[in-house]
Amino acid sequence: MVSKTIPVDDFDLVIFGGTGDLASRKILPGLFRRMVAGQMPRTAKIIGAARSPYDRKGYQEHVRKSLEEFVPKEKRAAKDVKDFLNCLDYVELDVFTPDGWKQMAKMMRKGAVRAFYFSVGPSLFGTIANSLVKYKVADEHSRVVVEKPFGHDLDSAKVLNAELAECFTEDQIYRIDHYLGKETVQNLMAIRFGNALFEPLWNNHHVDHVQITAAESLSVAGRGSYYDQSGAMRDMVQNHLMQLLCLTAMEPPSMFEANAVRDEKLKVIKALQPVSQKDVVRGQYSAGDGEDDYITHSENPSSKTESYVAMKVDVANWRWAGTPFYLRTGKRLRHRMSEIAIVFKDPPHSIFEQDFKEMRGNVLVIRLQPDEGIKMRVTIKDPGPGGMRLREVPLDMSFAETLGEDVKDLPDAYERLIMDVIRGNQTLFMRGDEAEAAWAWVDPIVKGWEELNTKPLPYDARSSGPDDAMMLMHRDGRRWRDISK
Ligand code: NAD
């Protein structure tokens, strides 16, 4: 059986930053795939809005090149490309000037869903929102999608929320976090709340600890000076890792509905204990494996920005007290790998001859990338005549292998989330109060570093991070899982 594709209503989507990297690499190829899959109507209108001096034809050519670069040839039938380019239009504008808005308003169709994707830096959000209302481009049913970073700290996030709230209601605002659009992340909810097996074990009685890893093998070369202003904590922990932690730790919502889910996630963020400096390790990658070090890439010889962070986090509530969550993320690590690992407690007693210490607890691994899937480590008898020897094996549910045809053309995270915007489903988007609460928790940690004024620890390129990050686990009698392909 091939998965069902449910078409969305006809829509007009304006992409501010329609000539930028994100639009060219993810948003437009994603929309193309949704059109081919039959989910986006071929009558939809996609309007690029940016400063480049294109007319409609010029923009169509620009997008044709993006499709050639980012969609494999065998998935780009000439008829589909023609139909997709036909959906496109373009408005040249600098959002800080009054030109172009009236032209955009005229392009909007009555009766189609209206969405505006702010694929530009956050300093433009307020101005765009204002002009959309002022020039009547948006109406009261329109949706706006805003990209990360949603602010730099609590104060700036509050300003952004206030600017958007002046023009749109909260149920019109979609703060995108592409981690939430991943198939496995939604599967985490399906596993937890669709199976009676796991929920009784999902607590501090049975779970020893949780590890959340988002490792990248790439450096920040090429965008180092931009990255240097944020660092791993702001770029990854405040949003992506925090969202994964929330979905893992939250109480079952009363229903699978946007505000019910987001209420539960917010409760988790509010239950996070302040993190003391002894529970955080920061790192900066060294030169190696044919590439320069972080300092060179950041173009800032005195940079104290972290390209790696590992931390121990306590969720202070009845379900999780005493069961730590360990988070780590970094650039230039051994492999690109993101996963959530629920490490269950060891069995309380061994009835077998085998050394009890050799029997380790079960681990449920929810893998986000690469090779999305779910794996469970279980102990079985080693096959063959050698007596009752035990051995650990993975019960593997790699989506690609298990679900075959069903997952061959899974929408990528951006595609899925854009379709949710058109459907008006906010479940997988961050609410304003969530973003602020996450910053309120992150800010003191970053401020602590600034006050200490110390440099992050160096770590080898293509390693698992600084040695101190290993110690963070070892001192608790635990160890990180391997960063593997
Ligand atoms: P980019 O620099 O490649 O493109 C920026 C776009 O904004 C261009 O189309 C430019 O014409 C337009 N623009 C800039 N100033 C403008 C103005 N005054 N008026 C009209 N248009 C203007 O940036 P990008 O990489 O596409 O990123 C866009 C946003 O998405 C940023 O906020 C970024 O942080 C975020 N983001 C990007 C990625 C990514 O992979 N590129 C991933 C996550 C989030």
SS3 content of the chain, % helix, strand, coil (to 5): 40, 20, 40
What is d(CA 344, CA 360) in angstroms, rounded to the nearest whole number? Answer: 9
**How far is ligand 1, taken at its centre, from the CA of residue 130, in Å?**
19
In the chain the first and final C-alpha atoms are separated, in Å, by 29
What's the pLDDT at 1?
Answer: 45
**In contact, 305 and 456? CB cutoff 8 Å:** yes
303 pLDDT band, cuts 50/70/90, is: very high
474 catalytic residue (yes or no): no
What is d(CA 270, CA 280) in angstroms, rounded to the nearest whole number? Answer: 19
What's the pLDDT at 361?
Answer: 79
Cα 265 → chain centroid: 15
Q: Which of 19, 21, 160, 180 for mutating ligand 1's site (highest number of atoms within 8 Å of CB)?
A: 21
What's the pLDDT at 42?
Answer: 98
What is d(CA 441, CA 154) in angstroms, rounded to the nearest whole number? Answer: 9
357-390 confidence digits (pLDDT tens): 666 778 999 998 887 888 888 877 777 777 777 7
Mean pLDDT of 260-264: 96
Residue located nearest, by CA, to atom 9 of ligand 1 = 17
Write out the H or E segment, with its range, that includes residue 313: strand 308-313
Residue 409 has pLDDT above 80, yes or no: no
Question: Three-class SS of residue 326?
Answer: strand
What is d(CA 233, CA 237) in angstroms, rounded to the nearest whole number? Answer: 5
**316-320, 345-349, 413-417: lowest mean pLDDT where?**
345-349
Residue 284 has pLDDT above 50, yes or no: yes
Mean pLDDT of all residues belonging to the chain: 92
Residue 410 has pLDDT above 80, yes or no: no
Most distant pair of Cα atoms in the chain: their distance:
81
Mean pLDDT of 288-309: 95
**In contact, 14 and 115? CB cutoff 8 Å:** yes
**How far is ligand 1, taken at its centre, from the CA of residue 91, in Å?**
16
165-217 confidence digits (pLDDT tens): 999 999 999 999 999 998 888 888 888 898 888 889 999 999 999 999 999 99
Nearest to 35 by CA among 425, 415, 421: 415
Residue located nearest, by CA, to atom 10 of ligand 1 = 17
Q: Would you state the structure tokens that stand for residue 333, as one six-digit string?
A: 């690590």
**Which atom of ligand 1 lies at the shortest distance from residue 50's CA?**
21
Mean pLDDT of 290-317: 96
Query: What is the DSSP pairing of strand 363-369 with strand 337-344?
Result: antiparallel
**In contact, 394 and 377? CB cutoff 8 Å:** yes
* Cβ < 6 A, ligand 1 pocket: 17-23, 50-52, 93-96, 119-121, 124, 147-149
- Cβ-in-10-Å burial (0-12, 13-18, 19+) of 479 comes to exposed
What is d(CA 483, CA 461) in angstroms, rounded to the nearest whole number? Answer: 13
Residue 227 has pLDDT above 80, yes or no: yes
**Which atom of ligand 1 lies at the shortest distance from residue 51's CA?**
11
Residue 407 has pLDDT above 80, yes or no: no
Residue 235 has pLDDT above 50, yes or no: yes
- Give every CB contact of residue 40 below 8 A, 6+ residues apart in sequence: 7, 8, 11, 31, 34, 419
The torsion of the CA quartet 229, 155, 236, 368, rounded to 10 degrees, works out to -150
Query: What residues form DSSP beta bridges with 282?
Result: 309
**How far is ligand 1, taken at its centre, from the CA of residue 249, in Å?**
33
What's the pLDDT at 355?
Answer: 62
**4-8, 80-84, 127-131, 364-368: lowest mean pLDDT where?**
4-8
Among the listed residues 209, 240, 335, 474, the single catalytic one is 240
Q: Would you state the structure tokens that stand for residue 27, as one six-digit string?
A: 């948003």
What's the pLDDT at 356?
Answer: 54
423-469 confidence digits (pLDDT tens): 999 999 999 999 999 999 999 999 999 999 989 999 999 999 999 99
**How far is ligand 1, taken at its centre, from the CA of residue 14, in Å?**
14
137-179 confidence digits (pLDDT tens): 999 999 999 999 999 999 999 999 999 999 999 999 999 999 9
